[in-house]
Amino acid sequence: MRLGRLERNWFEGVRFCQAILYSAIRFFIWFYLLTGQREKADSLVPAFATRWSRGIFHQRKCTVLVEGSEHLPRDRAFVVMVNHQSRYDILLLLGFLERPVGFVAKKELFRIPVLSFWLRQFHSISIDRKDTAGGAAALNEHGRKLKEEGRGIIIFPEGTRTKHPDREIQAFKQGSLRLASDHNIPVVPISLDGTRFLERIEYYRRTPASARIVRIKIAPPVIPEAKSAPERRQLMESLRETIVSNWKAIRVEWPTS
């Protein structure tokens, strides 16, 4: 289904306003960085991202419900493992986790001009899936810095989006745990649901605003003490079971009539 002319004009107007706001914020960030005011730049980035991402969900008339925010560590590093449904997941987590977070992302994303700028501002981690040896060394260094600076980072352990609204959570990639386990950084299992409908226009046009629910459930953090390969596999399966179980508990449906 295609958007009507009025809807297209509305979206184009919103995007134009967002582009102006983005340019202004980016100017101030660069100004603070060039004048050596890194702390001001670091405080401006998450504040802008939170308002911007929440604005996106408000524009789409979605109600976002968050459960378990008290489980997010406030004064130490942490690694979030979360299921991945759509491109809106990143916006959702930036806007509603209430703590600045970066992302573990494939290096190709860091070549996209606008996206790469924001990924770097959030201290995101670039990984090369083809360079296993070099990637392991880089990941170890990132883990050390993450723990030292007390930051949060998000990993999508499925490695890709599920995309289709009816698709189950996929298997987790074993390497997803390494960043946390090598440095004893707490892992926070998070389940989300609802964003799977936002990329399908039939749901956006035919679902009443009152039924556009997106949910997040944050489970208590787990200290990854497992070191051997079998222990890591067992821990990864346990984390996946937690995420899947909570996902089933918060699962929402968007009616199309």
| pLDDT given at position 4 | 53
In this predicted model, what pLDDT tens digit does every residue of 4-34 receive, in sequence order?
Answer: 555 555 445 445 455 545 565 666 666 766 7
Supply the pTM of this predicted model: 0.81
| pLDDT given at position 170 | 87
In this predicted model, what pLDDT tens digit does every residue of 114-145 receive, in sequence order?
Answer: 677 777 777 888 877 666 655 667 777 888 88
Name 129's Cβ contacts closer than 8 Å, sequence gap at least 6.
106, 135
| pLDDT given at position 201 | 81
Cα torsion 194, 62, 105, 234: sign: negative
Q: Which of 213, 49, 77 is nearest to 145 (CA)?
A: 77
| pLDDT given at position 119 | 79
| pLDDT given at position 23 | 60
Please state whether beta strands 213-218 and 187-193 pair in parallel, antiparallel, or not at all (unpaired).
antiparallel
Q: Could you give all domains of the chain from N- to C-terminal order, each with its CATH number?
A: 62-250 (3.40.1130.10)
C-alpha neighbours within 13 Å on the C-beta side of residue 114: 5
Residue showing tokens 């079998």: 230
**Are the CB atoms for 106 and 125 separated by under 8 Å?**
no
Within the chain, which residues score under 70 in pLDDT? 1-30, 32-33, 38-39, 41-45, 113-114, 129-136, 163-166, 226
Question: Directed axis angle between helix 113-121 and helix 38-59, to 10°?
Answer: 120
